[in-house]
Structure 1
Amino acid sequence: MTPTIPFKQKIKKFVLVYLTDWGIVLIVGLILYGLMIGSVLPKNPNVKLHEIATNDIQSPIDTVDTQATQAKRQEAIGSTPSAYAYNKNLGLIQVEKVGDLFDTIAEVKNDEKISSDSTQEQVNAAIKIIMDRLSDSTDSHLPNNTMTALITASDHNLQIAEDIASTSIYEAMNAKVGWNDLERAQDKASASLPSSVLNDSIRRALNEVLHAYITANYSFDANATKQNKQEAARNVDNVVIHQGEVIVKKGELVTNDMIRQLKLVGLLDEHFNLIPFVGLLLFVSFITFIFWFEYFRFKENHPNYSVKFLYIYAIIFCGAAAIIKICSYLRLTNISGISYLVPLAMAPLMIRILLNERVAVVSGLLLSLVGSVLFGISAKAAIFDSSMGIVLFFSSLAGALVLRKRQARPKIMQTGGLIALVNVLVVLSLLMFQNTPFSLLSTGLSLGFAALSGFLSVVLTNGLMPLFETGFSILSPIRLIELSNPNHPLLRKILIEAPGTYHHSLMVANLAERACEVIGANGLLARVAAYYHDVGKTKRPKFFVENQMNGINPHDKISPQLSRTIIISHPYDGADILRQYRMPKEIVNIAEQHHGTTLLKYFYVKAQEQSEQPIDESEFRYPGPKVQSKEAAVVELADSIEAAVRSMKKPNPVKVNNLVKSIFNDRLSDGQFDECNITLKELKSVEKSIDETLRGVYHSRIEYPKDLKMKKVNPKWQ
């Protein structure tokens, strides 16, 4: 029956496993939101209508000024001239109409027998007939006296009048005649009537005919005018208030139009707007999600993961964001380029050392986005400061990539110089993009602060690294490299007190490092741990065969049980010594576990030979624990194999290979790797790597004949 887990333990497990991670990520998000909330808080300037502005006020956003745009369009519509159309055929049409008039008069005159002797009633009746016939063909109406003069005229005079009217109308309307020029054209045509062939009554009648039939042929085109004005309005671009544009200049009188523009961009908006806060929440959520995603990838791929890495990541990330926030206020000093002093490269440098390169690069990108927002707040002109974001990104990228794999603490001149060079080049390129005249003072200050940022980042990294390594017991590559220094007090202690053990440890370190690299484990940790794994032998160095230089073995004079006690105690004596020297936990564990629960076969067999009673095998086994990590397993195999090969007489590749397989199978069958996460495939790779390394050490050599006599050397060659 499977035992049930108590409810309290389930709750505790849930809190430790899930709430710890998510709680820290949530705290990171809240901190970032608090740092960047200034980007969405109202930035209401202290301005009043008809007062002098005390400082420049810039637009925080891009927006269209609809009122100014509409006014500009109305101005364009008003300035667009009216369109006119010229009807060049209208003169011929009017000539045809006047011809119809005279033809109708002539027909009615003949039909009604009208002459100069006709009565007024006959004339009026004829005029009525003429008007009825012309009602559909003409829109020109002549007075009765004009019609009377024409209908009572002789046929000859009527024909002359028709010819003169047609000619005068055609000549007058052959040019453009607008409404403004119509009266002048009519008067000109009337003045040109020949007095020699026309009597006064006919001339007066023709004058009325010309005024009635000469009309404007160049007139206003309403449709074309409307289209032109609409096209002019469409061609007017929107009036845009650009982000960063100065709306109110310092020392200017604040006008109604300025107040209107400030309200338009939201600087005088007294109503609470939730949308910017939601937008910032989405932005921070994106940053936090990428933060969590990279942390999760690191967690999945790190063999010795602990939640302390999340604490470290969160502290560095939030600390870097806070430093950016503080440095953003340096702009208030009005010193040119001082904002480039922000030492953001420090964060990727530390993350690269304490976590890995990928997390450092992504964190640099995220922090540069955060920095662009924070510097945008301080500028009070934009939500994002893109130029500063670019500088921060390349600076952080340099911090993440400039450190070499096995470099000790970042060197101020070397690492700082490379970051400073990147900063200077990026700032210089941005200054060139602006296409503005260079000022020796401002440009020099900007480049100087950018360079100083690189060195400051390295100084802060070197100063803060010991705090993280000590506070969180972090074994960083830098720390490992420092511990591998031959001048370390413990290594010198091993070299002086147990020189054989020291050289044995060097060999084990070489074997273990290469084998760990083959299976993807921490080769540097295995190497450094191998240096210290036998430090416990310094308590009684002469009891270990590699330190017995004069051939005297003290075990020959003591019982196997006492020998067992001395030999078995060395891993635990070593762990105690390492703890006294405040060595990292990982190295202490490997020193304590490197023999696991293996059997001291030599002294066990010797004890059985000397005893008449059976001896329990457990009495001659190391008490453990068994190896708990891949690095510890590799060090155990390398230690056992190197010691065994060292004791062989005339080792050769075949003997070495057989010995490696024998020890490997013995450890595997003895269950020494049961508590370790190393796979059988990885163990086979370790076995192969150690065998290949030892083959290189104990390769076949040429045997020279013993009786070969040296020839006498020519003195001049010596």
Structure 2
Amino acid sequence: MTLQIQFRQKIKQFALTYLADWSILLIVGLILYGLMIGSVLPKNPNVKLHEIATTDIQSPIDTVDTQATHAKRQEAIGSTPSAYAYNKNLGLMQVEKVGDLFDTIASVKKEQKISADSDQDQINTAIKMISDRLSDSADSHLSDNTLTALLTASDHDLQIAEDIASTGIYEAMNDKVGWNDLERVQDKASASLPSSVLNDKIRRALNDVLHSYITANYSFDANATKQNKQEAARNVDNVVIHQGEVIVKKGELVTNDMIRQLKLVGLLDDHFNVIPFVGLLLFTGFIIFIFWFEYYRFKEKHPQYSVKFLYIYAIIFSGAAALIKLCSYLKLTNVTGISFLVPLAMASLMIRILLNERIAIVSGFLLSVVGSVLFGISAKAALFDSTLGIYLFFSSLAGAMVLRKRQARPKIIQTGGLIALVNVLVVLSLLMFQNTPFSPLNTGLSLGFAALSGFLSAILTNGLMPLFETGFSILSPIRLIELSNPNHPLLRKILIEAPGTYHHSLMVANLAERACEVIGANGLLARVAAYYHDVGKTKRPKFFVENQMDGVNPHDKISPQLSRTIIISHPYDGADILRQYRMPKEIIDIAEQHHGTTLIKYFYVKAQEQSDKPIDESEFRYPGPKVQTKEAAVVELADSIEAAVRAMKKPNPVKVNNLVKSIFNDRLSDGQFDECKITLKELKSVEKSIDETLRGVYHSRIEYPKDLKMKKVNTK
């Protein structure tokens, strides 16, 4: 049966520690995913071809318009001119070819002994021989009449004809000659033939030669043209439809090209795409991981915090995200700058107060990223609204850092004013970054909403903090500072009804706070708990020595057993009084535990002296419980030591030091710290701190003579 009970307890502990944590993380993740899912849901616009658009439609993504890019490249290719190459050596080459022509004619003429009197058969044979020898030349398309005229010409006329042809070709091809200009150049060269030295027959032959051998030296270059067109196509940038770019303007007629672009950016897709949903899941998981990591790190450093602080953290974080989502709909009002009204600094303020500054800063960053997504969705233009994300981050950063360590509940004017100032400066800088003309109205609205956000954050924090403190029984620094106010009814009660106890409590508070800060415990909690730890003495104040101003001790008239009952009851009477005033549990526990199970030695010894029988020591011990926290342990030590030092006659540093060590060793050997997670090293630090503080109070003073006569100084 015992094993079964232990097993159930382990299962219960596992469920409370691990399953509860993971359940909270899962819930927060689902909330964030649900708030941001609008970023991946299809936003198909209601547009039809050849109808008037009723609203602007913007691209949600950056994408390349391949069709428009291809058309632009084809246009670039078509507009690129053809490339031409100028062969300046082609004229000399053609002159050499003409020289070969005339050399061949002269050689054949000599071999065949052709003259003006030769018969036609002999001339035809010579022409065939010339054609065979010039078959490799591309420019040898001369008519038979031309070759006949040159064969039958005299050697002198043939030489003159060669010189004139060579000169004419060289001069004609000395400049750029394109195919379009070729005929004009050829005719010009023919027209320049000298008529005085040539007969008509030779002239006609030379005219044919010039037309055959004068060719274009500035011609189309296919390879260069191809390369130029390819280079022009490569230089054309991709046509990109940018995120936020207006594809369809309100009031325009929807064209086929607009429909094509809307399909390209996915606004008219009907098929389901799971990838964006997976991406959002990963994004949410990343946020939850940082959320969990920061809380786990905080919990390791502050093990006294229970799982309820994870609940609080989750509620504030999720609530802030939901608030951002709600505020994102304000954008639909089209009021300039209304997005800056989001009071996100409220979340940072509350997390700073309830947890710590680091978590508040990290949470502010995460929430600003979530906010940029939520406002990007509402804008229907981009996934992230970077401008608002930057603003939200700095606003939340101000909320996390604006409170001082010991500041009470945030003052609306002071705290809200500081956050408002940061908000206004951030918005002003963001507006300047945009490099757009300032509009007094629009700028004023933006700055006004940013300033109002700061005050709203302080107001909401003041309004919500009591709900968290009451609902979760939280002892926040603000609550502690409020409880330390001397005007608190209970403190006034102690001061009036038990003034000695009041001053004793003040001294204990000073000792305990400093000692707690030395070991990293909650010094503020120790101070406030010390103020109230002896409130039970107000029930019978005269039975405690610090309140016996008239020197009368009621214990002298009663039995040690009755005195024991009165003394032992004060921690529990105090706990009952604190519960009646709805004080925090931490303070009640310290008041109830500050004597642990210690022995009331004075009355125990007195009872033994008056009794003939041995008395059980347990009858004169406090029933406990022993101290459970470091703060309670420090208050117990500070209370015992301060009371002992107060009763000491003529205390000095040596006496105080010995007394501190004695009480410390007594409590340690008595096992009063066995149920507390305080180390021996920390106890030594507490002992040293209390001793140093008391040394400052009971330091040696100069003893002045009672009858000190002042000498008069003669100033005359």
| TM-score scaled by length of structure 1 | 0.98
Distance 1:9 1:136 in 2: 110
Cα offsets for 1:513-560 (capped at 9, x unmatched): 000000000000000000000000000000000000000000000000
Output the amino acid matched with 1:619. Answer: E
SS of 1:305's equivalent? coil
Aligned position for 1:370 = 370
Q: Give, in angstroms, the shift of residue 50 of structure 1.
A: 0.7
SS of 1:219's equivalent? strand
Output the amino acid matched with 1:516. Answer: C
Output the amino acid matched with 2:636. Answer: E
Alignment of 1:13-412 (within 5 A): 13-412=13-412
Distance 1:607 1:403 in 2: 55
Output the amino acid matched with 2:65. Answer: D
Output the amino acid matched with 2:515. Answer: A
C-alpha change, 1:196 and 1:709, in structure 2 (3 Å) is closer
Output the amino acid matched with 1:143. Answer: S
Q: Give, in angstroms, the shift of residue 619 of structure 1.
A: 0.3
C-alpha change, 1:275 and 1:455, in structure 2 (3 Å) is same
Q: Does 1:578 align with 2:607?
A: no
Output the amino acid matched with 2:259. Answer: I
SS of 2:552's equivalent? coil
SS of 1:269's equivalent? coil
Q: Does 1:596 align with 2:596?
A: yes
SS of 1:461's equivalent? helix
Q: Does 1:656 align with 2:656?
A: yes
Distance 1:647 1:393 in 2: 57
Aligned position for 1:478 = 478
Distance 1:430 1:655 in 2: 66
SS of 2:110's equivalent? helix
C-alpha change, 1:710 and 1:189, in structure 2 (3 Å) is closer
Cα offsets for 1:167-211 (capped at 9, x unmatched): 111111111110001111111111122222222221111111111
SS of 2:327's equivalent? helix
Distance 1:586 1:699 in 2: 34
Q: Give, in angstroms, the shift of residue 7 of structure 1.
A: 4.8
C-alpha change, 1:386 and 1:248, in structure 2 (3 Å) is same
Alignment of 1:286-685 (within 5 A): 286-685=286-685
Return 433-442 or 381-390, whichever deviates more. 433-442
CA contact (8 A) 1:350 1:461 kept: yes
CA contact (8 A) 2:134 2:140 kept: no
Q: Give, in angstroms, the shift of residue 136 of structure 1.
A: 2.6
Output the amino acid matched with 1:82. Answer: S
Q: Give, in angstroms, the shift of residue 630 of structure 1.
A: 0.3
Distance 1:128 1:702 in 2: 148
Return 415-424 or 126-135, whichever deviates more. 126-135
Return 675-684 or 189-198, whichever deviates more. 189-198
Q: How many residues align?
A: 715
Output the amino acid matched with 1:176. Answer: K
CA contact (8 A) 2:69 2:237 kept: yes
Q: Which residues of structure 2 form unaligned runs of 5+? A: none
Q: Give, in angstroms, the shift of residue 9 of structure 1.
A: 4.1
CA contact (8 A) 1:40 1:280 kept: yes
| TM-score scaled by length of structure 2 | 0.98
Distance 2:427 2:709 in 1: 75
Distance 1:5 1:258 in 2: 72
Distance 2:501 2:13 in 1: 45
Distance 1:681 1:160 in 2: 126
CA contact (8 A) 1:340 1:453 kept: yes
Cα offsets for 1:237-272 (capped at 9, x unmatched): 111111111111111111111111111111111111
Distance 1:367 1:141 in 2: 89
Q: Give, in angstroms, the shift of residue 13 of structure 1.
A: 3.0
Q: Give, in angstroms, the shift of residue 666 of structure 1.
A: 0.4
Distance 1:22 1:248 in 2: 47
SS of 1:206's equivalent? helix
CA contact (8 A) 2:336 2:442 kept: yes
Cα offsets for 1:488-534 (capped at 9, x unmatched): 00000000100000000000000000000000000000000000000
Distance 2:18 2:548 in 1: 55
- For the aligned residues, what is the CA RMSD? 1.5
Distance 2:432 2:586 in 1: 52
CA contact (8 A) 1:498 1:547 kept: yes
Output the amino acid matched with 2:448. Answer: G
Distance 1:643 1:616 in 2: 26
Output the amino acid matched with 1:695. Answer: R
Q: Give, in angstroms, the shift of residue 281 of structure 1.
A: 0.9
CA contact (8 A) 2:59 2:242 kept: yes
CA contact (8 A) 2:139 2:212 kept: no
CA contact (8 A) 1:652 1:699 kept: yes
Q: Give, in angstroms, the shift of residue 562 of structure 1.
A: 0.2
Q: Give, in angstroms, the shift of residue 5 of structure 1.
A: 6.9
Output the amino acid matched with 1:231. Answer: E
CA contact (8 A) 2:178 2:217 kept: yes
CA contact (8 A) 2:328 2:375 kept: yes
CA contact (8 A) 1:85 1:218 kept: yes
SS of 1:413's equivalent? helix
Q: Give, in angstroms, the shift of residue 659 of structure 1.
A: 0.5
Distance 1:256 1:622 in 2: 91
Q: Give, in angstroms, the shift of residue 713 of structure 1.
A: 11
CA contact (8 A) 2:139 2:213 kept: no
SS of 2:412's equivalent? coil
Q: Give, in angstroms, the shift of residue 712 of structure 1.
A: 7.9
Alignment identity in percent? 89
Q: Give, in angstroms, the shift of residue 15 of structure 1.
A: 1.9
Q: Give, in angstroms, the shift of residue 706 of structure 1.
A: 3.9
Cα offsets for 1:439-458 (capped at 9, x unmatched): 11111111000000000000
Output the amino acid matched with 1:551. Answer: G
Distance 2:7 2:633 in 1: 37
C-alpha change, 1:489 and 1:453, in structure 2 (3 Å) is same
Q: Give, in angstroms, the shift of residue 387 of structure 1.
A: 0.1
Q: Give, in angstroms, the shift of residue 67 of structure 1.
A: 1.2
Q: Give, in angstroms, the shift of residue 11 of structure 1.
A: 3.4
Return 141-150 or 393-402, whichever deviates more. 141-150
Q: Give, in angstroms, the shift of residue 474 of structure 1.
A: 0.5
C-alpha change, 1:549 and 1:713, in structure 2 (3 Å) is farther
SS of 2:606's equivalent? helix
Return 139-148 or 514-523, whichever deviates more. 139-148
CA contact (8 A) 1:407 1:478 kept: yes
Cα offsets for 1:632-651 (capped at 9, x unmatched): 00000000000000001111
CA contact (8 A) 1:519 1:682 kept: yes
CA contact (8 A) 1:97 1:138 kept: no
SS of 1:325's equivalent? helix
Distance 1:295 1:450 in 2: 30
SS of 2:179's equivalent? coil
Distance 2:171 2:709 in 1: 142
CA contact (8 A) 1:348 1:396 kept: yes
Q: Give, in angstroms, the shift of residue 705 of structure 1.
A: 3.1
Return 449-458 or 115-124, whichever deviates more. 115-124
Cα offsets for 1:666-689 (capped at 9, x unmatched): 000000001000000000000000
